[in-house]
Amino acid sequence: MLIVKKFGGTSVADKERIFNVARRCVEEYQKGNDVVVVLSAMGKQTDVLLDMARDINPKASKRELDMLLTTGEQTSVALMAMALNSLGVPAISLNAFQVAMHTNSVYSNSRLKSIDTERIKTELDNRKIVVITGFQGINKFDDYTTLGRGGSDTTAVALAAALHADACEIYTDVDGVFTADPRLVKNARKLNEITYDEMLDLASLGAGVLHNRSVELAKKYGVQLVVRSSLNNSEGTVVKEEVKMEKLLVSGVAVDRNVTRIAVMGLEDQPGVAFKLFNHLANHNINVDVILQSVGRDGTKDISFTVASDDADEAVEIIERHREGSLKCEKVDVEKSIAKLSIVGAGMMSHPGVASAMFEALYDENINIKMISTSEIRVTVIIDDNKVEKAINAVHNKFSLGE
């Protein structure tokens, strides 16, 4: 069997944890399996590097940032190979360049395009454990790129797909995927299984367990994932196409606090205004999420939307730049202290009243809803950030998700 194991930053944060991971990999290897290990940077190293960069130059180019950030993963894989060697097991570390993991040319948020598997296969044939840097790739200029924060999950899934691995295990510091973030909701329950679609919504909604593109890729290539703890042997959560159990009405409640709302007020109420606004943002690779447009009044309208907080300043700059030209408007308003709360469940499709039950739970806590958006299997609301804990617990209880 060929097994891809991915370990997050907390799982390799220090010497003791590195050896803990190394021993788990050796166990797998000694069963006769081929083992490919994908690692994140140690602990909070990526943040440390980002702080160093900001200190030197707050406007550092994304190319140089990627050059810097990829050193985090390069450190952890080299140390892991050394740890494995010291346990008497042949191992080799490889970075994105050595494997040849090609991405598009977008820095800091690139997408994997192809992976050469030859080098990896040769090393596996020589019975080595192959330890590969997560999060990074190379583009057509032979520059390093990164896949976006949390992107090591995506590296692992892409490798599992390219190598036709028999299993892809994502190890983290929690026991699996929960009905809500256990740090916010005390009685959150671990799910045994979840569908790709639900996980996709939970991942992109900020549940924080998996990088959303990793789930997209897993669905596309039919890679079954297991999310489990690196610190114990509990079973974890299986992420796959169909779950055996009856579909849950609501599988989980997710929170994303890293959101900013931008309201563009007094836009001309004319065809093409929304297109121009969002096209300008798309041209700068800024992802827009919940969108709300007001009813036109006296020839003007307001459009508000949310973006990841890291993109907010740039988004506002772009809009300001076009205010005299294609985007005439009266005012641009920014609200940072908001959060996105979502319920997700495949069973929602066939059951009315789920959204209203969620709204009632918030009403009971006197929490105001600022924006709403829905899909077939999801309801999302934007609320004040300081109400998040109260809100998530209220909604979690409303659907009796806890233990």
**Tokens 């999060």 appear where?**
135
In angstroms, give the least distance from the CB of 140 to Mg ion.
27
150: contact with Mg ion by CB under 5 A: yes
Binding range to Mg ion, per CB under 5 A, among 1-9, 18-26, 262-270, 299-307: 1-9
Tokens linked to 294: 């007001």
Q: Which is nearer to ligand ASP, 10 or 260 (CB)?
A: 10
137: contact with ligand ASP by CB under 6 A: no
Q: Which is nearer to ligand ASP, 74 or 306 (CB)?
A: 74
103: contact with ligand ASP by CB under 6 A: no
Q: Which is nearer to ligand ASP, 107 or 135 (CB)?
A: 135
9: contact with ligand ASP by CB under 6 A: yes
Q: Which is nearer to Mg ion, 153 or 302 (CB)?
A: 153
Question: From the list Mg ion, ligand ASP, none, which binds 206 (C-beta under 5 to 8 Å, kind-based)?
Answer: none
In angstroms, give the least distance from the CB of 367 to Mg ion.
29
Q: Which residues contact 249 (CB under 8 A, 6 or more apart)?
A: 345, 347, 348, 351, 354, 399
CA gap 253, 181 in Å, rounded: 8
151: contact with ligand ASP by CB under 6 A: yes
In angstroms, give the least distance from the CB of 150 to Mg ion.
4
Binding range to ligand ASP, per CB under 6 A, among 143-151, 320-328, 366-374, 382-390: 143-151
95: contact with ligand ASP by CB under 6 A: no
End-to-end, the C-alpha distance of the chain in Å comes to: 36
Per-residue exposure over 13-24, b if at least 16 CB sit within 10 Å of its own CB, e if not: beeebbbbbbeb
Which candidate, 347, 38, 297, places its Cα nearest to that of 165?
38
Q: Which residues contact 340 (CB under 8 A, 6 or more apart)?
A: 205, 206, 255, 256, 257, 259, 289, 290, 306, 380, 381, 382
212: contact with ligand ASP by CB under 6 A: no
Residues in contact with Mg ion, shown as a per-residue x/- string from 96 to 135 under the rule CB under 5 A: ----------------------------------------
Q: Is 115 exposed, middle or buried (0-12, 13-18, 19+ CB in 10 A)?
A: buried
In angstroms, give the least distance from the CB of 317 to ligand ASP.
24
133: contact with ligand ASP by CB under 6 A: no
40: contact with ligand ASP by CB under 6 A: yes
43: contact with Mg ion by CB under 5 A: no
In angstroms, give the least distance from the CB of 215 to Mg ion.
12
DSSP-based three-state secondary structure for 200:
helix
DSSP-based three-state secondary structure for 170:
strand
264: part of which helix (H) or strand (E)?
A: strand 252-268
**Tokens 């827009």 appear where?**
288
208: part of which helix (H) or strand (E)?
A: none
Q: Which is nearer to Mg ion, 177 or 264 (CB)?
A: 177
In angstroms, give the least distance from the CB of 9 to ligand ASP.
5
Per-residue exposure over 29-49, b if at least 16 CB sit within 10 Å of its own CB, e if not: beeebbbbbbbbbbbebbeeb
Give residues in contact with ligand ASP (CB under 6 A). 8-9, 40-41, 46, 72, 134-135, 149-152
